[in-house]
Chains A and B, each alone.
Chain A
Amino acid sequence: MDTAKNYDDNYEVVVPENDDFDLEYIDLNEEDIINVNPEEVLKAEVQREKTLKEALLNLMSKQASLLKVKTAEKARETGATIDKIIKGVEEKAQAYEKGYLEEKAILDDYNKKLDNLKSLYEEGVDFRLDNRDKFETKEQVAINQKSEAKSKMKKMQATKQYKEYTKAFNKVKDEFNQAVLEGDTETEIIKRKELIELKQKDPTIPYKREMKQADDSISLARKGISECDQQLIDWLEDKNKAIDRIENETNQALSGIVKQNFWQKLIGSLVNKFHKVGKVAKSAFGQIKKITDMMDEVYEKMNKEYEEELNANMQAASERAEAKAEARAERKAARAEKNRKHKQDIIKMIDERIAATEKQLEAIRAQRSQDNGKSITPVFEGGDNVVQFDRDD
């Protein structure tokens, strides 16, 4: 297990029993701890949590906007391309009414398959954006947890209990340092052991542990958000390749009709145009049918990839198995509502903490004014404990 050396996040973790560690990191500044003013600590905490609340609300709002923008952007890209292909085929086919009517079933099938593909892409995008939203909520929950733990730790560090702990710790630390200076190995070993034991009794350790756990959750959530973004990029790249292929093949198939249109304009009156148009159009429709078959393959491939991802998410998989578009939209709305409630709860928790700290602050001020100018360190809740402070005078 790791030792309690300085971490990047600037706080320490639990020192396990029988673990030797470098004592250099221990630097509790006795003056700072002893002279800490609980009123100042509470005031700073109220301000910190108010600023955090504003920043978190801002983050939630921007994340919600980003989700909307991403959804609109991705849907627009897919929808616009596919609609353009369908419209192009329809227009060209309708220019040759005879062939169009004869082969309408082929075109209808083609359009239906394109629509299916469009739905599949949109479903895949929604799924990934939903996941992204879930990770964002996890990030917000963890931020709130870390702030709560930090608040408790700050209050604990202003308690008499912690001041006494610091005094005891520094006393042993001084003895340890003295033993090192004097080369008194025996005392050094004893004091090192005492320091380790004292470190394990640090009353702020539970809060430091909570902060470390919240930090891990924040990192995991942010990693999850990045992964969702990458999955979305991959999914859309696959989609773009498939759509490009369909578009190219369709354009090639329709080129015969376009050429025939040009030829028809020039010499249509000299030949049996309907016969020839019908022939060329028929050939083009035959090619469209081939493209429709190709779309079946594309759909199957994309669907298989999507199913594999869904399998990792049993709930989404079972939902999809029965889902119709409307039912999916309803479930999506329910999930969005749940997330919205979750975010509201987070802000409510911060508000409650601010109100509780303000109440403690009022109590301190009331006690100070009652004391009529005497120097007093009043009562307030430190972390999970209610601590009675002594008078300093």
Chain B
Amino acid sequence: MDKKHGTIIVDGKIVDLDKTSIEELKKLENKLENEIDELRKEIDELIK
């Protein structure tokens, strides 16, 4: 792999993206998208 994508923190754990399988990356993507949707709802409520 010629690209370093670094790490992210998910649920308090460090995840090395270069060592994560594509399937796991897809799961992470869905999880983050759902969490972002929830945060948007919370923010919309706060600035309503």
Contact = CB atoms under 8 A, between A and B. Distances in A.
Interface string B1-45: 111011011100000011010100110110011011001101100
Contacts of A55: 39, 42-43, 46
A364 to B, nearest CB: 23
Contacts of A122: 3
A66 interface: yes
Contacts of B43: 52, 55-56, 59, 143
A48 B45 CA distance: 10
Given A69-B17, A79-B2, 19 more contacts: A9-B48, A10-B48, A48-B46, A52-B43, A55-B42, A58-B39, A59-B36, A59-B40, A63-B36, A65-B8, A65-B10, A66-B36, A72-B18, A73-B22, A73-B26, A75-B3, A79-B1, A143-B43, A143-B47
A66 B48 CA distance: 26
Q: Chain B interface secondary structure, helix, strand, loop or mixed?
A: helix
A62 B39 contact: yes
Contact of B36 (A52, A62, A73, A79): A62
A108 to B, nearest CB: 18
Interface string A3-23: 000000110000000000000
Nearest to A52: B46
B32 A62 contact: yes
30 contacts: A48-B46, A51-B46, A52-B47, A55-B42, A55-B46, A56-B43, A58-B39, A59-B36, A59-B39, A59-B40, A62-B32, A62-B36, A66-B32, A66-B33, A68-B5, A68-B17, A69-B8, A72-B3, A72-B20, A73-B29, A75-B3, A75-B5, A76-B25, A79-B1, A79-B2, A80-B22, A143-B43, A143-B47, A146-B47, A150-B47
